Structure 1
Amino acid sequence: MSVPGTHEYHWQSLAQLSSGRVYHTLSEIGGQMYMLGGCDAGGRPCPTLELYSPEGDRWIALPPMPTARAGAAVAVLGKQILVVGGVGEDQSPLKVVEMYNTEEGRWRKRSSLRETLMGVSIAVKDSRALAVGGMGADLLPRGILQQYDLRKDVWALLPPMPTPRYDANTHLLGNKLYVAGGRHCKRPMKAFEVYDTECRSWTMLPLMPCKRSYAGVIWDKAGRLSVLGGLRHGGGHQSSKFTKNVNTFDTNQGTWLKSEETVTMKTMRADFAAAFLRGRMVVAGGLGHEPSALDTVEAFHPQRKKWEKLAPMNFPRCSASSIVIRERLLVVGGVNQVPSSAHEILYVKEEEYL
């Protein structure tokens, strides 16, 4: 399969947010993008819900969430958006769960989680939400696996994950829920486990090759997981150790590819936008060894086995939220010294997006 050339990828600036935003959550229903919550420039969680309208290139304010929150987990169940946990106005984890009906345009309170949690990871299987892990009010990670039934409005406990963690990456592939990485307190985890939704059992997979936080995570259409870049060592900016390493796990073989089979990125970076777009892995922005946020973008060519530079982002930033909708990558908000109101799209086609 041929992939687009580097000159075919275009960035276009879209309507900016009304104010800078970070730690917000993006969701899609029917090709439309919704933005939920997040923190403002003062670090306060917001209750806002906004819909981006490409027709008028504008943001439309919808009824706000009953509970202001940042870093919430979100699941789409039909035409409804389930919002789970996150951090509330008092900077503590939340247990409250709310649901927005996009057809009725209103919020409903739903059954709460069993305890307050932030950093929950969520996936949807057969119209049920699977919420994995999280961090409690005691700042300790959880191994809990909870399943939400929309019809009954109940959370059921499923067998817990072997390795407690929060901020893990989850991906549903058939009947298998893969859970990669995550953190324990501030320490990154190498744990990699899979839950079989039919057998209701966990299996431990080969550990991730290296410990890192704020890495990019991309699942391609062949069922391969790639973990890209990230921060190998914390601390201040001067002592931070960024990496450009790429590790890829093949779910068919059940193994991580050997290092000679993978290709490192051109630029060391962490906390960047990452996506699979038109047959290529794409990474954009983030933090590196430069004193400010990056605007550089690169894409992997699978046939040439090399990373190639794309046009830079219009707005350098890290900690941005991103989502792929109809083969287009939207990058919203983030941080460049202060929370950013930038909103731009990367797409492959000759005519303009709007």
Structure 2
Amino acid sequence: MPDLVAIASPGRRRQIIIRSAASCSPLGGALARAGILVLPAPPPGRREGSPAGEGTTNMGLQPPQGSCRGGVPWGAWGTVCTALCCADGLVYALGGMGPDTAPQAQVRVYEPRQDCWLSLPSMPTPCYGASTFLHGNKIYVLGGRQGKLPVTAFEAFDLEARTWTRHPSLPSRRAFAGCAMAEGSVFSLGGLQQPGPHNFYSRPHFVNTVETFDLEHGSWTKLPRGLRMRDKRADFVVGALGGHIVAVGGLGNQPCPLGSAEGFSLARRRWEVLPTMPTARCSCSSLQAGPRLFVIGGVAQGPSQAVEALCLRDGV
């Protein structure tokens, strides 16, 4: 369960990606100076509606649906690998892995001014570790996992109507893929390719696949081999930065995490080498702020406390 959550300031829209942030404590002061709220997660066993620091011995307590009495319900934090997204100063937590390791479909929204969580309509497809991004008044949820199986679902939650819409599924079965959006298209990159349901002899393998979804026309396109990423990678950081779709770090066929970075130029329609990340790692959190993509924590040879940023401006 994460013990640190970075939230965009009220009134600003920003996607956030958070895994375990225990290794990210050096970033707390920098986030505060940048106007980003740092919210500590409640300790296990905290009662719904209880003030900070007050606990309970009833570890099985689950708050009622839609409860909000000034506290953070413990039930909202009963999952790990939850996908997070910010919209207008609110934090949305989607899915996750429950205490029994089963994928969850629950959706919660955190209201900082009232300091409480509210329940929202559940996702059509339970999953954890999904990619999320905000576009207009919708939160899009892409991929994720159910146990060892990758999820190909692509779904959108309308923040105003509070309803879910299903979009065409991902063409390929890939776990630990990266996702970003630019110029009206969703980019799904890389990952660990899983064998199809009728291919029992193939093994999972790293890929450099690039698939794009046109939001206007509602269709997927698999880019040709010449437009695939330079490196095969999974469990990496992705962002839309300076006119590029950026891929940083992750795991590949090498015996240790990757430090390489590359960007797909939207203007030149090609992948280009970017400066290598000083600390090679995977399983990182990330936060995009202006022209900078912060890569936070993760795993190098062991848990990493590195906080490094890639700066890439338009036209570079």
Q: Normalization by structure 2: what TM-score?
A: 0.73
Unpaired segments ≥5 residues, structure 1: 1-21, 41-45, 56-61, 69-91, 97-107, 350-354
Q: Which residue of structure 2 lines up, in the alignment, with residue 229 of structure 1? A: 190
Deviates more, 1:186-195 or 1:113-122: 113-122
Deviates more, 1:109-118 or 1:243-252: 109-118
Query: Aligned to 1:339, which of 300, 303, 306?
Result: 303
Q: Which residue of structure 2 lines up, in the alignment, with residue 52 of structure 1? A: 30
CA distance in 1, matches of 2:131, 2:120: 18
Given that residues 218 and 281 in structure 1 are in contact (C-alpha distance below 8 angstroms), is that contact kept between their aligned partners in structure 2? yes
Partner letter of residue 181 of structure 2?
Answer: W
Partner letter of residue 288 of structure 1?
Answer: G
Partner letter of residue 28 of structure 2?
Answer: E
> Residues 151-230 of structure 1: matches in 2 within 5 Å?
153-220=115-182, 222-230=183-191
Given that residues 3 and 41 in structure 2 are in contact (C-alpha distance below 8 angstroms), is that contact kept between their aligned partners in structure 1? no
> Residues 66-215 of structure 1: matches in 2 within 5 Å?
67=43, 109-113=71-75, 116-150=78-112, 153-215=115-177
Deviates more, 1:164-173 or 1:280-289: 164-173
Given that residues 179 and 187 in structure 2 are in contact (C-alpha distance below 8 angstroms), is that contact kept between their aligned partners in structure 1? yes
Q: Taking CA–CA contacts closer than 8 Å with sequence separation of 6 or more, which of the two structures ends up with the larger relative contact order?
A: 1
Q: Which residue of structure 2 lines up, in the alignment, with residue 320 of structure 1? A: 284
The count of aligned residue pairs is 276
Query: Aligned to 1:242, which of 184, 206, 223?
Result: 206
Instruction: Report the secondary structure of 1:133's partner residue.
Output: strand
Query: Aligned to 1:38, which of 21, 30, 38?
Result: 21
Cα deviation, residue 110, structure 1: 2.4
More strand, by proportion: 1
Cα deviation, residue 229, structure 1: 0.5
Partner letter of residue 38 of structure 1?
Answer: A
CA distance in 1, matches of 2:110, 2:273: 42
Shift in alpha-carbon separation, 1:53–1:249, aligned structure 2, 3 A = closer
Given that residues 95 and 115 in structure 1 are in contact (C-alpha distance below 8 angstroms), is that contact kept between their aligned partners in structure 2? no
Shift in alpha-carbon separation, 1:189–1:166, aligned structure 2, 3 A = same
CA distance in 1, matches of 2:304, 2:261: 18
Unpaired segments ≥5 residues, structure 2: 45-58, 64-69, 196-202
Cα deviation, residue 336, structure 1: 1.8
Shift in alpha-carbon separation, 1:170–1:151, aligned structure 2, 3 A = same
Given that residues 7 and 89 in structure 2 are in contact (C-alpha distance below 8 angstroms), is that contact kept between their aligned partners in structure 1? no
Q: Normalization by structure 1: what TM-score?
A: 0.66
Q: Which residue of structure 1 lines up, in the alignment, with residue 272 of structure 2? A: 308
Given that residues 283 and 297 in structure 1 are in contact (C-alpha distance below 8 angstroms), is that contact kept between their aligned partners in structure 2? yes
Q: Which residue of structure 2 lines up, in the alignment, with residue 74 of structure 1? A: none
Shift in alpha-carbon separation, 1:64–1:247, aligned structure 2, 3 A = closer
Given that residues 7 and 86 in structure 2 are in contact (C-alpha distance below 8 angstroms), is that contact kept between their aligned partners in structure 1? no
Aligned sequence identity (%): 37
Shift in alpha-carbon separation, 1:333–1:95, aligned structure 2, 3 A = farther
Q: Which residue of structure 2 lines up, in the alignment, with residue 252 of structure 1? A: 216
